[in-house]
Structure formats: structure tokens, C-alpha cells
Amino acid sequence: MTQTQKPSNAFIAASWIALLAGMVSFNIGLWNAEMMLNEKGYYFTVLMYGLFSAVSLQKSVRDQLEGIPVTNIYYGLSWFSTILAILLLVVGLWNATLTLSEKGFYAMSFLLSMFAAIAVQKNTRDMAKAEKEQEQP
């Protein structure tokens, strides 16, 4: 049995910094945006849904790779939710009365946040697995 390599502290820090940078910048943009509160709520909800679905997708894909049972329904819903979150953001931005630079800002901070959430989840899981293997004789 091969031992799981623990992620480096630099990669862990970079992942958390990217997640915080994406989420904070997205939310600062929303806070300062000149849009109605229900629009701000829509974009905030899409961000939270996207982060949750990305972590869920990463977990279900990883579980399958490690031989941990994952139902096809959950696996499919994880993919569907992740794609849906991205689609909801795209549709929202397409129809928004924002400048192209604002639309690009929201899209990039959203994608950065989703990617970073996946990296943070991976690091968390790798660290837990490495620590568990070290505890076993």
C-alpha cells in the first residue's frame, strides 16, 4: 500500500488565499454594485450554490476513484449542480445591465472561487488521509 503524500503548506496556503480572494472580491463587488437587492441576492446565492456543488462534485469523483461507493444519482446530481451553477451565472450576467468589465469581474471571481474550493477540499481530504495512515502501525 502506498502512503498518501501530504500537500505542501505552500499549496494549502495558496488554495485558501485563492478561495478567500475569489469570494471576498465577488462579495465586495456585489456590495458596491448599483443593482437591486434581489439581484445581489441572486448572485450571492449562485456563488454559494456553486461552491457547494463544486466541493460535492470533487468529493464524489474522489470517492469513486478510491473505491468508496457513490450512488449514480448523487454523482449525476453533483455534475448537474456544478454545471447548473455556472449556467445560472452565465444567464444572469448575459441578461444583466452591467458593463462588460463588471461581467468579466464576476465571472472570473466566481470561477476562481469554485476552483479554489475544489483545491481546498482536496487538500483537506489528502491531509486527513495522510494523518490517518501515519496513525496506523
Helices and strands per DSSP (H, E), number in the chain:
4, 0
Q: What is the pLDDT of residue 128?
A: 85
Cα-based distances in Å from 54 to 33, 49, 101: 26, 8, 25
DSSP code per residue over 78-105: HHHHHHHHHHHHHHHHHHS---HHHHHH
Q: What is the pLDDT of residue 37?
A: 93
Q: What is the pLDDT of residue 126?
A: 87
CA-CA-CA-CA torsion for 52, 127, 132, 129, nearest 10 degrees?
60
- Which residue ranges of the chain lie beneath pLDDT 70? 1-4, 137
Q: What is the pLDDT of residue 2?
A: 61
